[in-house]
């Protein structure tokens, strides 16, 4: 699972617990100027993931790490798709961040309010 907060002009995503091991990351810091928006999307888990490098993917259990699909990099950290949030990015290493959070609605509101 991930924690999301705003620190000044940055969006900070902190990966918790053993997910750090599976995702090969402990945190991501993205300038808010490069964040396009956020949505709660429980259906995203059914989408193709692409090539994993590095990361872990056990269908129905965990998707974590960097995945390459159609020329884009997507960061994943999801165990429970019902709590998935997608954060769209521009001019960043990743085109999207797909993470599991405790409360998707609150996280989406946090990101969207920070962009205003």
pLDDT tens by residue, 65-100: 999 999 999 999 999 999 999 999 999 999 999 999
Q: What is the pLDDT of residue 57?
A: 85
**Strand stretches in the chain, DSSP E:** 2-7, 10-15, 27-31, 35-40, 51-58, 62-69, 72-78, 84-89, 96-100
pLDDT at 64: 94
- Which range marks the domain in which residue 76 is found? 2-115
- CA pair distance 55, 67, nearest whole angstrom: 8
User: pLDDT tens for residues 44-55?
Assistant: 888 878 888 888
How much is the pLDDT for 89? 98
CA dist 15 and 25 (Å) reads 7
Q: For residues 95 and 97, give the distance between their C-alpha atoms in angstroms, rounded to a whole number.
A: 7
Residue 15 has pLDDT above 90, yes or no: yes
Tokens 């056990």 found at: 58
Cβ atoms of 89 and 36 closer than 8 Å: yes
Q: In which band, very low, low, confident or very high, does the pLDDT at 32 lie, cut at 50, 70 and 90?
A: very high
CATH number of the CATH domain containing 55: 2.30.29
The count of structural domains within the chain is 1
49 phi and psi angles, rounded to 5 deg: -95, -35
pLDDT number for residue 49: 86
Q: Residue 58 has what pLDDT?
A: 85
Of 68, 64, 92, the C-alpha closest to 2 is 64
Mean pLDDT of the chain: 94
Closest CA to 26 of 3, 5, 46: 3
pTM, entire model: 0.93
């Amino acid at each position: 699972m991930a924690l999301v907060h705003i620190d000044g002009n940055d969006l900070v995503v902190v990966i918790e617990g053993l997910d750090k091991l599976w995702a090969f990351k402990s945190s991501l810091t993205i300038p808010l100027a490069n964040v396009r928006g956020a949505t709660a999307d429980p259906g995203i888990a059914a989408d193709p993931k692409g090539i994993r490098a590095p990361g872990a993917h056990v269908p129905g259990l965990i998707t974590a790490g960097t995945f390459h699909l159609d020329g884009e990099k997507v960061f994943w950290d999801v165990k429970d798709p019902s709590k998935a949030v997608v954060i769209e990015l521009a001019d960043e290493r990743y085109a999207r961040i797909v993470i599991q959070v405790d409360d998707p609605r609150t996280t989406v509101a946090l990101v969207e309010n920070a962009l205003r």
